[in-house]
Structure 1
Amino acid sequence: MSQRMPVKAYAPASIGNVSLGFDILGAALKPLDGSLLGDEVTVCAADEFSLQVTGRFADKLPGSLADNIVAKAYHYFQQQLAAKEIVAGPVKMLLNKNLPIGSGLGSSASSIVAAFDGLNQFYGSPFNRNQMLVMMGELEGQISGSIHYDNVAPCYLGGMTLMVEQGEQITTQLPVFDDWYWVSCYSGLSVSTAAARQILPKQISLSDSIKFGRQLGVFVDALHRGDRAMAAAMMTDVIAEPHRKSLLPGFDQCREFAMQNGALAFGISGSGPTVFAVTDDLAHAEQIQQFLASHYVQSADGFSHICKLDPDGSICSEGKELGTV
């Protein structure tokens, strides 16, 4: 197997759960202003493995590079190559960490997807998409404590994904509405996935279980039929939001403003603290974004973007000019 030229992979931020699909629904984000809301990983040939970390949130990562998830992705990838009896030379990698940790934007998933996609491209694509998803989910599970694909799947494949996990099929792509704007706002605080799971009840009521199933079924049907009003009406969270919103200062105030000013839905992105609002009007999106930036952001690390759903997911580019890492 021949080595490739240096490769750079970009993997977008994502919304896990999308309110109504706990652990089984996810969506990739793409800011309208063209900013990179996602991590980048560059892979180059080297005599020995090394990792360099840069970017806005690089200083929030573990001090030891051995504990960095990109390093773990590299060693995991090499193990999988060895299992296929493929011998591959070492690489040097550069992580540009654009996403905050514990943000609810799929930060770990973004690093994992960019690392795996970049490595796979660099080594000549020895793994297919399904194999890649399984590997991504397993590594993500080591961090969060359980394997779930609601961030890695949309981050890798783009758009909105529904987890199938039946036989060899991990996920399926859902149709989306191109005229919906997704306003995403990170407060600047940090909420770990493990902590956000601990606050949830161990059991849910029969009525909530029935409502969860009904909402998800009707939502998927509405997407396929192009029924925007019905799809939006289903986007409420009966599983996690009632409990997790206590971790998010200003959540109820911001939801009330959004829903009174053109939002079709408002919810928690993944485990939080990032929140999102959906609207079909750009002027409303701008108004909601300004309010969230003023009333929900809690620190200098916070930010807000008006997005569409990213149809592409992870993107790789290659060329000699990338070899300066």
Structure 2
Amino acid sequence: MANNKQKVSVFAPASIGNVSVGFDVLGMAVKPVDGTLLGDVVDVEYSDNSSDLIVIGQFADKLPSNKEDNIVWSCLLLFNQALAQANQEVVDVSLTLDKKMPVGSGLGSSACSVVAALAALNLYYQTFQQFSFSKQEMLEMMGQMEAQISGSLHYDNVAPCYYGGLQLMVPDEKVISRTLPSFNDCFYVMAYPGIEVSTKAAREVLPAQYSRADVIRHGQNLATFVDACHRQDKQQAFSVLTDVVAEPYRTSLLPKYQQAHDYLMAQGALAVGISGSGPTLFSVCQSEQQAKEFAQWLESHYLQEVNGQSFGFVHVCQVDENGAAELAAK
């Protein structure tokens, strides 16, 4: 019999969408080396009344105040629908979203909420109702929720957020995503300047057509990067980490990005790019010491104030191989 001690918590990490060379087909989960939870947390707890949603956290005020307009509530409705279709009993639960991720940051903020919510619901039912959906079924639901937000189906944030590591989206509905060997000895400096750039606006600046030369270069860069990952050829991989699809057109939306890009590359960064649709910048470093030096520079030169306040941050990260994971009870 259910009781109010039935509770699970799941954390879903931030991710770098596109990874420069893989527009909508590459994504990588990242985690700060200092243990900071860069991502969202969702608690699912038994409710003896009706289901409910509570939103807390640093960026809670950036979300709709009405729970029916919150993507986590939509996740619950979708999950319950899937349960009913599987002839499983639907129980009332209370969800708490700890919104640690800024909205419109280019760090997969919506994916963090979607993945944390659905993974937590699945864990709850697995733990207390002896039923769970497969990882494939879960990823499909996550993609469906992301499409509801962005208007198009793409897995480059939800797949790494859920599975962890570096993920390549493949045109196979039975597979969706494959894990690529990543460079776990590298450090990734993630700098969120504190301004918001909507995915919709970032997509609208892209051209409707590309030149043959750009198409060839994009394909060559992506293929070379994937090949270098499998061979663990770090220099080759990051030498082609150049975005010809989105970055040339999105730079105008990101104040100080070009200046930061040019400075960091001149200082020896392996690569510098826009995380997702921006405005977060990522820089790939050979060593933690170099990453810390870059982080200090970015804190002084890339973060910006909005109405006299700064909401930006910089984290030195590495690849998060775990993806969505259960948090131990406090």
1:219 aligns with 2:225: yes
Alpha-carbon RMSD across the aligned residues, in angstroms, is: 1.5
1:186 aligns with 2:188: no
1:49 aligns with 2:59: no
Structure 2: how far apart are the matches of 1:27 and 1:290? 23
Instruction: Name the SS for the 1:93 alignment partner.
Output: strand
Structure 1 residue 262 displacement after superposition = 2.1
Aligned equivalent of 1:83 = 85
Aligned equivalent of 2:325 = 315
Percent identity between the two aligned chains: 50
User: Are 2:55 and 2:96, in contact at CA under 8 Å, matched by a contact in 1?
Assistant: yes
Aligned equivalent of 1:155 = 161
Instruction: Name the SS for the 1:29 alignment partner.
Output: strand
Structure 2: how far apart are the matches of 1:146 and 1:2? 38
1:302 aligns with 2:312: yes
Structure 1 residue 5 displacement after superposition = 3.0
User: Are 2:50 and 2:92, in contact at CA under 8 Å, matched by a contact in 1?
Assistant: yes
**Structure 2 counterparts to residues 232-251 of structure 1, below 5 A:** 232-251=238-257
Counterpart amino acid of residue 314 in structure 1: A
Structure 1: how far apart are the matches of 2:112 and 2:273? 21
**Structure 2 counterparts to residues 127-146 of structure 1, below 5 A:** 127-146=133-152
**Structure 2 counterparts to residues 162-311 of structure 1, below 5 A:** 162-299=168-305, 300-311=310-321
Structure 1 residue 2 displacement after superposition = 8.2
Instruction: Give the 3 Å change call, closer, same or farther, for CA 193–229 of structure 1 in structure 2.
Output: same
Structure 2: how far apart are the matches of 1:294 and 1:244? 22
Structure 1 residue 318 displacement after superposition = 6.1
User: Are 1:261 and 1:284, in contact at CA under 8 Å, matched by a contact in 2?
Assistant: no
Structure 2: how far apart are the matches of 1:68 and 1:166? 30
Structure 1 residue 83 displacement after superposition = 1.3
Count residues with an aligned counterpart. Answer: 320
Instruction: Name the SS for the 1:210 alignment partner.
Output: helix
Which stretch of structure 1 is more off in the superposition, 252-261 or 238-247?
Answer: 252-261
Counterpart amino acid of residue 140 in structure 2: V
Structure 1: how far apart are the matches of 2:132 and 2:78? 14
Structure 1: how far apart are the matches of 2:2 and 2:16? 37
Aligned equivalent of 1:30 = 31
Structure 1's unaligned 5+ residue stretches are none
CA deviations on 1:26-64 (whole Å, 9 max, x unpaired) are 000100111010000000011211111111101111121
Structure 2's unaligned 5+ residue stretches are none
Instruction: Give the 3 Å change call, closer, same or farther, for CA 128–224 of structure 1 in structure 2.
Output: same
> TM-score, normalised on structure 2?
0.94
> TM-score, normalised on structure 1?
0.96
Structure 1 residue 88 displacement after superposition = 1.5
Counterpart amino acid of residue 201 in structure 1: P
Instruction: Give the 3 Å change call, closer, same or farther, for CA 30–266 of structure 1 in structure 2.
Output: same
CA deviations on 1:76-131 (whole Å, 9 max, x unpaired) are 11111111121220100100000000000000000000000000010115211111
Counterpart amino acid of residue 257 in structure 1: Y
Instruction: Give the 3 Å change call, closer, same or farther, for CA 203–13 of structure 1 in structure 2.
Output: same
Structure 1: how far apart are the matches of 2:117 and 2:205? 31
Instruction: Name the SS for the 1:276 alignment partner.
Output: strand
Instruction: Name the SS for the 2:142 alignment partner.
Output: helix
User: Are 1:24 and 1:162, in contact at CA under 8 Å, matched by a contact in 2?
Assistant: yes
User: Are 1:6 and 1:318, in contact at CA under 8 Å, matched by a contact in 2?
Assistant: no
Structure 2: how far apart are the matches of 1:195 and 1:167? 28
User: Are 1:266 and 1:276, in contact at CA under 8 Å, matched by a contact in 2?
Assistant: yes
Aligned equivalent of 2:64 = 62
User: Are 2:112 and 2:158, in contact at CA under 8 Å, matched by a contact in 1?
Assistant: yes
Aligned equivalent of 2:7 = 6
Counterpart amino acid of residue 324 in structure 2: S
Structure 1: how far apart are the matches of 2:132 and 2:186? 37
User: Are 2:2 and 2:46, in contact at CA under 8 Å, matched by a contact in 1?
Assistant: no
Structure 2: how far apart are the matches of 1:204 and 1:138? 28
Which stretch of structure 1 is more off in the superposition, 80-89 or 148-157?
Answer: 80-89
Instruction: Give the 3 Å change call, closer, same or farther, for CA 107–167 of structure 1 in structure 2.
Output: closer
Structure 2: how far apart are the matches of 1:105 and 1:231? 22
Instruction: Name the SS for the 2:87 alignment partner.
Output: coil
Structure 2: how far apart are the matches of 1:176 and 1:5? 37
